[in-house]
Amino acid sequence: MEELKVYGGNPLIGELSVQGAKNSSLPLLAAAVLVKGKTVLHNCPRLRDVEIAFQIMRHLGCIVKREDDTVEIDSTTISCSEIPEVLMGEMRSSIVFLGAIVARTGMATVNFPGGCELGPRPIDLHLACLRQLGILIDEHNGILDCSIDKLKGSKITLSFPSVGATENAILAACTAEGETIITNAAAEPEIVDLACFLNRCGAKIYGAGEKTIVIQGVSRLQASEYRVIPDRIALVTWLCAGAITGGELLLKQIVPEHIEGVLPFLEQTGVKLLVDHHNIYLRSTGKLNAMSAIRTMPYPGFPTDAQPMMMALASKAAGTTVFVENIFENRYKHAVELTKMGADITLEGKVAVVEGVPTLSGARVRATDLRSGAALVVAGLAAEGITYISDPYHIDRGYEPIEETLCQLGAVMSRIK
């Protein structure tokens, strides 16, 4: 079993280019299954979830090669339409392959997906979208058997702007006969990235990033070359780490517009931020102020994935910060772990009240999911003493080796057995 060993008290100082986006890479890899030929993706991050996606693609018959941050996928010889249960159980995002596989092969057999335990996250919206496009889905014993006679465009209205359901609908609708209109669609940057890639491959997708997306079906798609957008949640993580440690960072190759819902709260803590088109400079004294109430919302609101790291930051900010979690029911597991480090956090349903404390103390804590693990790293960097974080494989799902990244900036941490 592995642990991360984090020594607190070292300010983060230096420059860092932000990795490619996890939440964009996975649907782009699914899109590479849909198109025929060799897809080349640049800025594809080295993540556990990405490696699982590679395993899924190889099982389907794709040839996958990686060199540094560039990945080449040859989907010409896809020979399988089934994803093994063990791979579906490794990550929730595996469900995004469903629409692509059915559209490419005419059938698919998959199990219900696994991933972080953040409370009920039913895939009903995914299945409803696919059924409206003409896909027949038989659910039995946790297995989904899917087939089509013909994909047909449809009018789809989502009851909630689900990112995954929007992605699955886009992937399946690209080669459907006729027009598909998705209303109340998710507007996240990762949706825009998927649409941009598919349009480069010959799709006709309009309105990505808005609440209504229109897709004109085409008969075929041609593989292309593309660069993955930078990871906005990793960016927020490094900003929180720099702020809580009294650091000075220049974060490069980023898109500031992607975190416009977060930047005002960071500024409220008293850190200095300078933003241009592709960079953010942060300077912090380490003396932080509490923030106004943070409510997680679909994009362009405050992202739920950024909430745990911001809570770690708030735990050392003078005053009271209130969090309201509106996306996931079970997103406060990190709060329990932070209290082991001396944080003062009160939970009541979807509300968390954080009273800033002068000092956090190193402790033995556990990463219960991807972002909770990142929050514990942020807290550990500013704590007195040593913090041991167990189950770091959760963190590896969304961050390139986090100890290597942070040690470049002056952190003292390592991965131990």
* 184 labelled binding-site residue: no
* 10 labelled binding-site residue: no
Sequence-distant (6+) residues with CB within 8 A of 177 are 150, 151, 152, 153, 217
Tell me how crowded residue 401 is: count the other CB atoms within 10 A of its CB: 14
Residue 320 Rama label (left phi>0; alpha psi -120 to 50; beta): beta
* 417 labelled binding-site residue: no
Q: Is the peptide bond before 27 cis (omega within 30 degrees of 0)?
A: no
* 124 labelled binding-site residue: yes
d(CA 340, CA 338): 5
Decide if 259 contacts 331 (C-beta within 8 A): no
User: What is the secondary structure of 68-116 as a DSSP string?
Assistant: TTEEEEE-TT----B--HHHHTT-GGGGGHHHHHHHHHSEEEEEPP---
Provide the sign of the torsion angle of the four alpha carbons 200, 204, 206, 211, taken in this order. negative
Single out the residue of 35, 115, 43 nearest to residue 328, CA to CA. Answer: 115
* 92 labelled binding-site residue: yes
> Packing angle between helix 97-105 and helix 22-34, nearest 10 degrees?
10
* 305 labelled binding-site residue: yes
Tell me how crowded residue 155 is: count the other CB atoms within 10 A of its CB: 10
* 327 labelled binding-site residue: yes
User: What is the secondary structure of 161-179 as a DSSP string?
Assistant: --HHHHHHHHHHHTTSBSE
Pairing of strands 179-183, 155-157: parallel
* 22 labelled binding-site residue: yes
Active site residues: 116
Pairing of strands 386-390, 364-366: parallel
- The DSSP H or E segment spanning 212 is strand 212-216
* 326 labelled binding-site residue: no
Tell me how crowded residue 125 is: count the other CB atoms within 10 A of its CB: 20
Decide if 172 contacts 136 (C-beta within 8 A): no
Query: Which residues in 226-253 are b (16+ Cβ under 10 Å) and which e?
Result: bbbbbbbbbbbbbbbbbbbbbbbbbbee
* 137 labelled binding-site residue: no
Decide if 148 contacts 102 (C-beta within 8 A): yes
d(CA 324, CA 304): 10
Rounded to the nearest 5°, which phi and psi values hold at 23? -75, -5
Task: Pick out the residues of the known binding site for UDP-N-acetyl-alpha-D-glucosamine.
Answer: 92, 121-125, 305, 327
Task: Pick out the residues of the known binding site for phosphoenolpyruvate.
Answer: 22-23
Task: Pick out the residues of the known binding site.
Answer: 22-23, 92, 121-125, 305, 327
